[in-house]
Amino acid sequence: MANVPEIFGSQVFNDSVMKNKLPKEIYKSLKKTIEKGEDLDIGLANVVAAAMKDWALEQGATHYTHWFQPLTGVTAEKHDSFISPTDNGTVIMEFSGKELIKGEPDASSFPSGGLRATFEARGYTAWDPTSPAFVKDGTLYIPTVFCSYGGQTLDTKTPLLRSMEELNREALRILRLFGDRTTNSVSTTVGPEQEYFLIDKELYFKRKDLLFTGRTLFGAPAPKGQEMDDHYFGTIKPRVAAFMRDLDESLWKLGVLAKTKHNEVAPAQHELAPIFSTTNVAVDGNHLTMEMMRRIADEHGMICLLHEKPFAGVNGSGKHNNWSLSTDTGRNLLDPGKTPAENAQFLLFLAAVIVAVDEYQGLLRVSVASAGNDHRLGANEAPPAIISIFLGDELTAILRDVESGANHRDTPVSAMELGVHVLPSFPKDNTDRNRTSPFAFTGNKFEFRMLGSAQNIAQPNTVLNTAVADVLAGFANRLEGAENVLAEARELVREAMRDHKRIIFNGNGYSEEWTQEAARRGLLNLSSTVACLPQMLERKNIDLFVRHGIYTEREIESRYEISLENYVKTINVEALTALDMLSRDILPAVSAYIDDLGDATKYEKAVRAELIELCDRIYENAKALESVTAEGRTIADPLAQATFYHDRVTTALLSVRQAVDLAETKMPTDYWPMPTYTDLLFRV
């Protein structure tokens, strides 16, 4: 096994490498740029570029790439070599400051939602020095942002960085009002827990649905699913353990703080959690994690499925976005301390999150919407589609007392009594877990649990940061005009509870009563992507982003269109894949077996009759799917089209699936044209 401290970050141009490789003055000004957001000058960039190149060459790199996050949901890169010709026919390796800070990829094939006319193909990438560069596969990767010729953002990183700046500014105002003179910056920290499935590679290539859509469009349930709960935290099989070891090692080399790994609830499902970092770095780390999961699985003869719902009937995969606020001096602003009731500053930040989540629940819901995630949210395996906050009894009681003006005394933290003397005793957590809550306070951070496994975590964090920054700005305005800051802070918390306590819910989010109760409270219940996307165009939501300079109104409209388009494209590919499998694999297999069946026995007669009926049903349902898909393609209005795909195409897909899955259970294994759920879920 590798020496972990030695390999950790060995492929990263991190702080210690920079300190080593850069002249002292240059290092200092670069740090200023990174920490204070000061502008970068070209002279400095030249020196950094040269050092970066020398270091990259030592790591065996021959190329560099600007690495960015366009609106495709995945990262993009274009590799250029360092070579530069000389007069005598040889080359030298060069890399200038200009090449470091700016790139010009052709932007015409990236989604822009009509922002960029096709003739304005030019796009720019610009170095984001707050996330470290790294070497992978002989290429130096430089994290960048991506915008159009006209300066409109075409990526997920620019808005995220802007939202972090907003939050920093407003949180600092609050800290100053509480007398804090030492904190220089506040950033949001994120630790994204990532779920995934591993299946056998050979089997994967026998399923066109997995290949083209990432999920199974057909498949009868295996006799055993997750009902025994024997996979969750179960012993990790050797083949999976070997994969996880390699994965950890590659991630460590890339500076990703991979920490926890375990089996998840569904068979063949697993999870990896990193140690949290600054949001921006966490976003890049999560992209690398997903990429490495796919690659290392492949090297181990497996395929990593990151789709939100690869298999019907067993849990899908999500991501838990653990989120908090932290000062550059290392203080967690959401840490309640031992006596939360007396911690006015903590209560104020807590109140800001409560107000933000209630006010902008529509935007938070949109930030996790995707065709894949529609299968999970509200299906009693992931949180419901209704946003609410779990605070736990203790904090809820404190906030209630602030609201009513009662005097709250903190109860001393009690020790956990396990009743066995040899066991250590440890303090009891002040919040229990509530797995059903979409947005749970877990001791010193919030856990946003609605994210899909495949999604870019930048969007939800952009919404969260901006919404909280906005509320903090309002708080700071009030506090700055107040005579008594503490009294006013208490008043703000009181008002937050009075006006927004409807968002707090500590009960069972999966229950039917909650759906009804949430409706009475006026909370949004947006059950699908199509139902929630129009939230993006709500006046108050547009205003929030525009007010904070995150997006222009035009940029929001373009993102709305891209989201609708993505939804339609996803369902369309699913429909076309299903049709291909139906006409070329499934219907021929069922017919062939019907032909081969004799009628000598009762068994043969009965199965033959059943299958003939099912075969007709499959055929008719396939025809119906074909015609609704064709109709869907002709609809011009994006929202109408997406709505049609949701209402008609996904339902047609489901009808044909039901008939196929039933036929599968009546067919001999060797006649069935693709690996079954038993093969896929229990073979690794």
Kindly write down the DSSP assignment for every residue of 113-164, as one continuous string.
TTSS-TT--BEEEEE-TTS--EEETTEEEEEEEEEETTS-B-BSHHHHHHHH
Query: Using CB under 6 A, which of the segments 441-449, 451-459, 550-558, 604-612 binds ligand ADP?
Result: 441-449
Query: Using CB under 6 A, which of the segments 159-167, 322-330, 363-371, 509-517 binds ligand ADP?
Result: 322-330
DSSP at 318? E
How far is the C-alpha of 284 from the C-alpha of 95, rounded, in Å? Answer: 23
Applying CB under 6 A, among 33, 322, 430, 641 the residue interacting with ligand ADP is 322
Binding pattern for the stretch 178-197 against ligand ADP, x by CB under 6 A and - elsewhere: -----------xxx-x----
Widest pairwise Cα distance in the chain: 95
Residue 99 interaction partner, one of Mg ion, ligand ADP, none, beta carbon < 5-8 Å per kind: none
Output the residue with the shortest Cβ distance to ligand ADP.
191
Residue with tokens 């159009």: 148
If the CB atoms of residues 153 and 187 are measured against ligand ADP, the closer one turns out to be: 187
Residue 124 interaction partner, one of Mg ion, ligand ADP, none, beta carbon < 5-8 Å per kind: none
Task: Provide the minimum distance between the beta carbon of 367 and Mg ion in the complex, in angstroms, as a whole number.
Answer: 19
Residue 317 interaction partner, one of ligand ADP, Mg ion, none, beta carbon < 5-8 Å per kind: none
Task: Provide the minimum distance between the beta carbon of 320 and Mg ion in the complex, in angstroms, as a whole number.
Answer: 4
How far is the C-alpha of 80 from the C-alpha of 177, rounded, in Å? Answer: 50
- Return residues touching Mg ion (CB under 5 A): 320
How far is the C-alpha of 334 from the C-alpha of 447, rounded, in Å? Answer: 12
Query: Would you count residue 133 as binding ligand ADP (CB under 6 A)?
Result: no
Residue 241's alpha-carbon distances to 123, 228, 235, 244, 365, in angstroms, are: 43, 22, 9, 5, 35
Task: Provide the minimum distance between the beta carbon of 494 and Mg ion in the complex, in angstroms, as a whole number.
Answer: 31
If the CB atoms of residues 252 and 311 are measured against ligand ADP, the closer one turns out to be: 252
Structure tokens at 364: 């938070």
Applying CB under 6 A, among 125, 131, 139, 324 the residue interacting with ligand ADP is 324
Residue 332 interaction partner, one of Mg ion, ligand ADP, none, beta carbon < 5-8 Å per kind: ligand ADP
If the CB atoms of residues 258 and 656 are measured against ligand ADP, the closer one turns out to be: 258
* Torsion angle of C-alpha atoms 412, 400, 438, 465, degrees rounded to 10: -90
If the CB atoms of residues 271 and 394 are measured against Mg ion, the closer one turns out to be: 271
Task: Provide the minimum distance between the beta carbon of 448 and ligand ADP in the complex, in angstroms, as a whole number.
Answer: 11
Structure tokens at 640: 């109408």
Residue 198's alpha-carbon distances to 152, 229, 294, 319, in angstroms, are: 39, 18, 9, 16
- Please give the angle made by the CA atoms of 229, 232 and 235, to the nearest 5 degrees: 115
Applying CB under 6 A, among 444, 527, 572, 655 the residue interacting with ligand ADP is 444
Query: Would you count residue 278 as binding ligand ADP (CB under 6 A)?
Result: no
How far is the C-alpha of 323 from the C-alpha of 640, rounded, in Å? Answer: 36
Query: Would you count residue 461 as binding ligand ADP (CB under 6 A)?
Result: no
Structure tokens at 126: 């610009």
Applying CB under 6 A, among 68, 276, 448, 545 the residue interacting with ligand ADP is 276
Residue 249, CB-side half-sphere exposure with 13 Å CA sphere: 10
Given the rule CB under 6 A, which residues bind ligand ADP?
Answer: 189-191, 193, 273-276, 322-324, 332, 442, 444-445
